[in-house]
Amino acid sequence: MKYDILSMTLPELEELILSLGEPKFRAKQIYGWITKGAWGEEMRNIPKSLIKKLEDVCEFRLPKIKLKLESKLDPTKKYLFELIDGECIESVFMEYAHGNTLCISSQVGCRMGCKFCASTILGRVRDLAPSEMLGQIIAAEKDTGKRISNVVMMGIGEPLDNYANTVKFLRLVSSPDSLNIGLRHISVSTCGLVDRIDDLAKEDLPITLSISLHAYDDETRSSIMPINNKYSIDELLCACESYYQKTGRRISFEYTLIANKNDTEEGAYMLAKVLKKYIRSTPHVNLIPLNEVEETKLHTSKNVNNFKNKLISLGINATVRRKLGSDINASCGQLRRQSQKE
Ligand code: SAH
C-alpha cells in the first residue's frame, strides 16, 4: 500500500521524509508543490533522487479533468473528474460577489436514496479519500488560475456518511500549511444523519451546516427521503437545535420545491410552524427549485415565489437559490449519470 500523500498533514509528511533519510525542510517544499497540483518532475527544487523515492512510496491522487462544461451565461464551470481507479465525480466552479466557490463531491455515488436526486440512482460505489476532496479544489484552482475562497459540500455523496474522511478533509483544507480556506467559508450539507450531527458538534469545526429538509412532516419527508424512516423530523430538528447550542453556529435549511409534493401555501405554513417549534434562532431556509432528473418523474414547482413570500410573512428568513450555469446541467450527479449511460 502506498501513502496517499495529499491526504497527509504536514507533520505526517515530515515524519515520512525523515524516515526516508531526507532533511525535514523538504517536506514543506513538497507540501507547497502538491497543494498546487504539482508532482514528480514538476517539483523543480526537489532533487531527482528524492522524487524517485517519493514516487516509489506515495501515490498522488489529484483528480484528472475528464470533461469540462463552461456556461455561456455566466462564469460557471462544471467538471467531470476521473479518480485514480477510473471512477468519476463532479465539481462545480461558481463566481459570487463574496468569492469563488467550488461545490465538491464526497463519495462516488450515494446510498441515501433521495427520490429526486441523480447521484443516488445506482447507489454508492465508494467513499472519497480526504485527498480526493482536497484534490477537486486544487485541480479547479490549477485549471481556472483563480483562488477558491469558499467550498460547499453539496456535490455527489453524503459527507456525513463518509465522516472520518470528511473531518480530516476539513482540517486539511483549513490548515495554513495547506489551502488555508477558513472553516467559516465552508458549508457541509447533509440529509440528516442525526448521530453524526451530534458527533460533528464536538469537533470544534466552525463550518456552516446545512440540512436538506425538503418537507414539513414525516409522511412527506419519508416519501422522498428514506433517511427519514431512521431519524424523524422531531429527532433531526432537536439535533439541529442542540448543535446550535453547542457550537453557536446557525444551521441553514435546504428545501427543494417539488410540484404537488411539498410546495403549497399550506406547506409553507406547516414548515414555518415546525421550524419555529424546534429552532430558537431565526431559521434560514434556502429554497431550491427542483432540477428535473429524467428518471424521477418529479417536476419542478411553479409556486416558488409564493412559497418564499409566505415563509417570509411568517418570520422565516427565506431565499431562493440563484441558478448559475443552467445551460450546462450544473446540478450535481447529472453529468456523472450521463457519462455512465454513454
Ligand atoms: N447528501 C447531501 C448533499 C447533497 S446535494 C445532502 O443531502 O444534503 C445538495 C442539495 O441538493 C441537497 O439539499 C439535495 O437534497 C439537493 N438536491 C439533490 N438533487 C436535487 C435536484 N434534482 N433538484 C434540486 N435539488 C436537489
The 10s digit of each residue's pLDDT in 25-50 is 999 999 999 999 999 999 999 999 99
Spatial contact of 271 and 311, defined as CB atoms under 8 Å apart:
yes
SS3 sequence of the chain: CCEEHHHCCHHHHHHHHHHCCCCCHHHHHHHHHHCCCCCHHHCCCCCHHHHHHHHHHEECCCCEEEEEEECCCCCCEEEEEECCCCCEEEEEEEEECCEEEEECCCEEECCCCCCCCCCCCCCEEEECCHHHHHHHHHHHHHHHCCCCCEEEECCCCCHHHHHHHHHHHHHHHHCCCCCCCCHHHEEEEECCCHHHHHHHHCCCCCCEEEEECCCCCHHHHHHHCHHHHCCCHHHHHHHHHHHHHHHCCCCEEEEEEECCCCCCHHHHHHHHHHHHHHCCCCCEEEEEECCCCHHHCCCECCCHHHHHHHHHHCCCEEEECCCCCHHHCCCCCHHHHHHHHC
Nearest ligand 1 atom to the CA of 189 is: 8
Cα 331 to ligand 1 centre (Å): 9
Closest C-alpha among 43, 53, 57 to residue 22: 53
β 3-4/77-82 pair status = unpaired
Protein residue closest via CA to atom 1 of ligand 1? 158
Active centre residues (catalytic)? 90, 332
Spatial contact of 5 and 62, defined as CB atoms under 8 Å apart:
no
Check residue 12 and give its pLDDT: 98
Nearest ligand 1 atom to the CA of 291 is: 23
Q: Is 256 in the pocket of ligand 1 (CB under 6 A)?
A: yes
Q: Is 191 in the pocket of ligand 1 (CB under 6 A)?
A: yes
Check residue 332 and give its pLDDT: 60
Domains observed in the chain: 3-59 (1.10.150.530), 64-341 (3.20.20.70)
Cα 183 to ligand 1 centre (Å): 21
Q: Is 165 in the pocket of ligand 1 (CB under 6 A)?
A: no
Protein residue closest via CA to atom 5 of ligand 1? 154
Region 282-302: mean pLDDT is 92
When pLDDT is cut at 50, 70 and 90, the band that residue 84 belongs to is very high
Cα 122 to ligand 1 centre (Å): 16
How far apart are the C-alpha atoms of 335 and 304, rounded to whole Å? 25
Q: Is 114 in the pocket of ligand 1 (CB under 6 A)?
A: yes
Spatial contact of 116 and 293, defined as CB atoms under 8 Å apart:
yes
Protein residue closest via CA to atom 7 of ligand 1? 191
User: How confident is the model over 176-222, as pLDDT tens digits?
Assistant: 999 999 999 999 999 999 999 999 999 999 999 999 999 999 999 99
Check residue 143 and give its pLDDT: 98
Q: Is 116 in the pocket of ligand 1 (CB under 6 A)?
A: yes
Check residue 330 and give its pLDDT: 58
Region 6-35: mean pLDDT is 98
Cα 117 to ligand 1 centre (Å): 6
Three cell numbers at 43?
A: 517539483
Cα 8 to ligand 1 centre (Å): 30
When pLDDT is cut at 50, 70 and 90, the band that residue 253 belongs to is very high
Protein residue closest via CA to atom 12 of ligand 1? 212
Q: Is the pLDDT of residue 333 over 80?
A: no
